[in-house]
Structure 1
Amino acid sequence: MTVEVKIGVQYAARELTVETDETPDAIEKLVTEAIGTGGVVTLTDNKGQRTVVPAEKIAYVHIGRSSAGQVGFRS
């Protein structure tokens, strides 16, 4: 399952979006620990590219299922 993570960064006009194979619980734990220690959040996407964000600059994190690649109507 691919998970889409959207990170709002303070003073940035656009949010960062990363699609990863990590579980939502693992991502939540990573973000919570980084904020608690004042560290950085490092996410690796499906293509192996890394995104690093200083925890002190995070405005919000939205974790959800990716909708990429879906075609047609859903009920």
Structure 2
Amino acid sequence: MEVKIGVLHTPREIVLETGQSAEAVEQAVAEALTGKAPLLSLVDEHGRKVLVPADRLAYVELGEAAPRKVGFGAL
């Protein structure tokens, strides 16, 4: 699943592909926004951890990843 995270006072967003379910990501975001967790912590497909301070979150967009196309075949 593709996750886009907007950070306050930062012109670029953080984009990552994660193997976590949409429900798990929503729960992590909700915990960060309600103050239960000081950081939003997500793990991408390569095992790297992304940490964003909860008070700096502008938005989080969840979406399904598009399948990657390989080759030069006609569509």
Question: How far off its partner does 1:67 sit?
Answer: 1.6
Q: Any stretches of 5+ residues in structure 1 without a counterpart?
A: none
Q: Which residue of 2 aligns with 1:53?
A: 52
Higher Cα Rg: structure 1 or 2? 2
Residue correspondences, number: 71
Q: Which amino acid aligns with 2:45?
A: N
Any idea what the Cα deviations from partners look like across 1:9-64, whole Å, max 9, x if unmatched? 00001000110010111100110011111610111100011110001100000001
Shift of 1:68: 4.9
Structure 2 residue runs of 5 or longer lacking an equivalent are none
The two structures have a TM-score, normalised by structure 1, of 0.86
Flag as ranges the 4+ runs of structure 1 deviating above 2 A: 70-73
Q: What is the alpha-carbon distance in structure 2 between the residues aligned to residue 68 and residue 49 of structure 1?
A: 21
Q: Which letter maps to 1:28? A: E
SS in 2 for 1:48: coil
TM-score (ref. length: structure 2):
0.86
Letter in 1 for 2:5: I
Aligned to 2:68: 69
**Pairwise CA RMSD of aligned residues?**
1.6
Give the letter aligned to residue 47 of structure 1. H
